[in-house]
């Protein structure tokens, strides 16, 4: 059987050979615990410092602002719970299209969702109206994982800057911070924190051809968080547990490769995605692409096939060697329609007729032709 056509890069990316190479020394030779006191361990500690420095450079941050975590779920939880627990009674605002790993921790506190437009972009006027004197944190993802919608983060940052100045004038001492979940963004967008204007940012190694369970929470200097995991006090007291130099080195290498290639890769993947969507529009009557091309990451096509059950279509595609997703991987096992699509105004039925195809490093035109032809065969047999 020929190789399957993998169109689920939003769920997982294969580790690049250069990344595996960067990890290798720390698996066996340099296995030492960086907190130990003999020379070899001190050397490991210096290596970890270097890895942190390299990740910091890619994000335009200082090394002490980089907290290594086990993925983006943990980074999102550390950001939201680490702030929320310190300020009982304060409010958290999240966009209505956030990933579950932002929604669930936000729900532990007094939180509200900011509505989005039909393309999944946050409504800035609604955000502005929802911000109150008690708002502590606004969390808006950089790139949505189901539709690929890119959020107007710099406008959100400007609004928050304005609120901060107003608070200072009024003598309101409650801080207000901006967090972004950038888990889906690293391959195509600039992750420079000061250009983005964020105070907290989550990065995910497993989506940028690095190891799974590797991630970063960027925490702007001066911002105090409470740790979720306490113990030996590693990661500046914010994330106890013996550090994994292999995971950190893999993530830093993946970040370096992704950020340096993002211009060329964006162009390549955009042209493949546009080709895919134009073939679908041409050949599959009634198929509609969600989101707007102007504000969409190159790697995601979210397509509604009117009247078709997405779970069934997904399985039939799989039988024909095409791997894609119905919504996010995390909610794949639930029967609930996507909260992202519903927030964009799609009906339950339409949400349950929608598939996500996500492209990546090994995607070719030929693979996309195979996927379109499999879709045609299935849908024609249905009608
Ligand atoms: C936008 C977004 N945030 C957070 C996560 C969670 O990442 P992980 O499961 O690797 O912790 C994902 C994973 O799909 C994601 O797409």
Distance, CA of 30 to CA of 164 (rounded, Å): 46
| Atom 2 of ligand 1, nearest CA residue | 183
pLDDT digits over 174-216, tens only? 999 999 999 999 999 999 999 999 999 999 999 999 999 999 9
Whether 54 has a pLDDT exceeding 70, the answer reads: yes
Backbone angles phi, psi at 17, to 5 degrees: -55, -40
Distance, CA of 75 to CA of 80 (rounded, Å): 9
Mean pLDDT of the chain: 96
Distance from Cα 40 to the centre of ligand 1, integer Å: 35
Query: Rounded to the nearest 10 degrees, how much is the dihedral formed by the CA atoms of 75, 197, 49, 224?
Result: -60
Q: Quick check: CB of 145 below 6 Å from ligand 1?
A: yes
By annotation, the residues acting in catalysis are: 330
Q: Which atom of ligand 1 is nearest to the CA of 76?
A: 4
Q: At which residue do the structure tokens 């190479």 appear?
A: 21
Distance from Cα 75 to the centre of ligand 1, integer Å: 10
Distance, CA of 205 to CA of 184 (rounded, Å): 10
Kindly indicate the confidence band of residue 22, based on its pLDDT and cuts at 50, 70 and 90: very high
| Atom 14 of ligand 1, nearest CA residue | 11
pLDDT digits over 260-302, tens only? 999 999 999 999 999 999 999 999 999 999 999 999 999 999 9
| Atom 12 of ligand 1, nearest CA residue | 183
Whole-prediction pTM: 0.97
Distance from Cα 215 to the centre of ligand 1, integer Å: 10
Q: Quick check: CB of 139 below 6 Å from ligand 1?
A: no
Per this entry, what is the length of the chain? 383
Do 257 and 20 form a contact (C-beta atoms < 8 A)?
A: no
């Amino acid at each position: 059987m020929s190789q399957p056509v993998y169109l689920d890069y939003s769920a997982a990316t294969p580790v690049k050979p250069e990344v595996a190479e960067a990890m290798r020394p720390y698996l066996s030779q340099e296995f030492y615990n960086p907190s130990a006191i003999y020379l070899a361990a001190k050397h490991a500690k210096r290596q970890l410092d270097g890895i942190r420095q390299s990740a910091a450079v890619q994000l335009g941050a200082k090394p002490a602002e980089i907290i290594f975590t086990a993925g983006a779920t943990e980074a999102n939880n550390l950001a939201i719970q680490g702030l929320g627990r310190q300020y009982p009674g304060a409010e958290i605002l999240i966009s209505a299209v956030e990933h579950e790993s932002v929604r669930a921790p936000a729900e532990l506190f007094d939180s509200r969702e900011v509505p989005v437009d039909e393309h999944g972009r946050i409504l800035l006027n609604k955000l502005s109206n929802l911000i109150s004197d008690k708002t502590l944190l606004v969390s808006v993802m950089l790139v949505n994982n189901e539709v690929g919608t890119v959020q107007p983060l710099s406008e959100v940052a400007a609004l928050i800057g304005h609120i901060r100045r107003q608070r200072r004038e009024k003598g309101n001492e409650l801080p207000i911070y901006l967090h972004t979940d950038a888990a889906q963004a690293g391959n195509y967008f600039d992750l420079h924190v000061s250009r983005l204007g964020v105070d907290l940012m989550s990065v995910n190694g497993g989506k940028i051809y690095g190891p799974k369970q590797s991630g970063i929470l960027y925490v702007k200097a001066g911002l105090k968080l409470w740790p979720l995991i306490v113990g030996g006090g590693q990661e500046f007291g914010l994330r106890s547990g013996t550090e994994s130099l292999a995971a950190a080195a893999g993530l830093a290498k993946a970040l370096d490769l992704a950020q340096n290639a993002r211009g060329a890769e964006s162009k390549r993947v955009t042209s493949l995605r546009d080709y895919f969507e134009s073939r679908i529009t041409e050949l599959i009557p009634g198929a509609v692409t969600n989101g707007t091309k102007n504000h969409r990451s190159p790697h995601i096509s979210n397509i509604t096939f009117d009247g078709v059950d997405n779970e069934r279509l997904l399985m039939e595609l799989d039988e024909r060697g095409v791997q894609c997703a119905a919504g996010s991987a995390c909610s794949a096992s639930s029967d609930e329609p996507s909260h992202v699509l519903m927030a964009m105004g799609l009906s339950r039925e339409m949400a349950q007729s929608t598939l996500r195809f996500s492209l990546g490093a090994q995607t070719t035109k030929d693979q996309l032709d195979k996927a379109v032809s499999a879709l045609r065969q299935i849908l024609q047999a249905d009608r």
